[in-house]
Amino acid sequence: MCVVLAGLLACSEQQEQQLPVLGPSSVENGDTIRHRIPDFRFVNQDSQWVTNTTFADKIYVADFFFTSCPSICPKVKKNMLRMYERFSDDPRIRFISHSIDTKRDTVGRLKEYASNLEVDGSFWHFVTGDKKALFDIADEYFVSALEDPGAPGGFDHSGRLILVDKHRHIRSFCNGTDDEEVDMFMKDIEKLLNEG
């Protein structure tokens, strides 16, 4: 009896520790299909292709920004730098920052930005690419990103950080401008890493 109870307890504890799979699901032929990040292909600050296979067998954090953003981006990047300091030695995790300003944020501009942020380009990809593809993929991450001449810097977007697992499922998110939410998010990253 005790063994069964202990087993149940251990089980429920493990379930508590597991992060949920987020986003809508659909049922196809009796199987539940969870929301997945679709195929993508963008180019990073080192002119290298970044695709889903770049993150094969890794978890990753995604966000959307632009280098001349005068509003929330520097604060989000400051918090991502904190995360970078904590996780950049871990080969199981990567970052991807998508620029939504495809006109001004050339590969060269992204390279300059990444170097001045003093981060390793093989860990943290700053990507650009086809404008529609970038805005479409933002929808898939449930991040709002709009071109808006009335917004500061010409774009209206959220500073949300998204955590994606090895199976392209979204497992956590937070508001990247909020230090406490980012602290919780880092705990979620640890949890997901512990899933193996």
Partner 1 sequence: MKASVPALILAFVLVACQNRYPQGENLYRAYCANCHMEDGSGLARLIPPLAGSDRLTELANTVCAIAHGAQGGVVVNGITYSEPMPSFRNLTPVEISNIVNYLHTSWGNALPPVNPAQVEAALDDCQEPDLR
Per 3-state DSSP, the chain is made up of helix, strand and coil in percentages (nearest 5) of 40, 25, 35
**Could you tell me where the beta strands, DSSP code E, fall in the chain?**
25-28, 31-34, 41-43, 49-51, 59-65, 93-99, 124-127, 145-147, 155-157, 160-164, 170-175
Shortest Å, Cβ 112 to partner 1: 6
Site for partner 1 contains 70 (CB under 8 A): yes
Site for partner 1 contains 125 (CB under 8 A): no
Pick one of 75, 92, 111, 166: the residue that binds partner 1 (CB under 8 A). 75
Pick one of 52, 71, 88, 175: the residue that binds partner 1 (CB under 8 A). 71
Site for partner 1 contains 191 (CB under 8 A): no
Site for partner 1 contains 116 (CB under 8 A): yes
Site for partner 1 contains 112 (CB under 8 A): yes
Phi, psi of 169 (to 5 degrees): -90, 145
Cα dist. 88→60, 71, 92, 100, 128 in Å?
12, 26, 9, 24, 22
Q: How many residues bind partner 1 (CB under 8 A)?
A: 16
Pick one of 45, 65, 77, 134: the residue that binds partner 1 (CB under 8 A). 77
Token pair 């604060």: residue = 75
What distance in Å separates the CA atoms of residue 194 and residue 78, rounded to the nearest whole number? 25
Site for partner 1 contains 107 (CB under 8 A): no
Site for partner 1 contains 160 (CB under 8 A): no
Site for partner 1 contains 106 (CB under 8 A): no
What residues numbered 7-66 form the site for partner 1, per CB under 8 A? none
What distance in Å separates the CA atoms of residue 49 and residue 55, rounded to the nearest whole number? 12
What distance in Å separates the CA atoms of residue 184 and residue 6, rounded to the nearest whole number? 28
Which residue's CB is nearer to partner 1, number 77 or number 171? 77
Pick one of 113, 126, 141, 155: the residue that binds partner 1 (CB under 8 A). 113
CA–chain centroid gap for 135, Å, is 15
Residues that bind partner 1 (CB under 8 A): 67-68, 70-72, 74-75, 77-78, 81, 112-113, 115-118
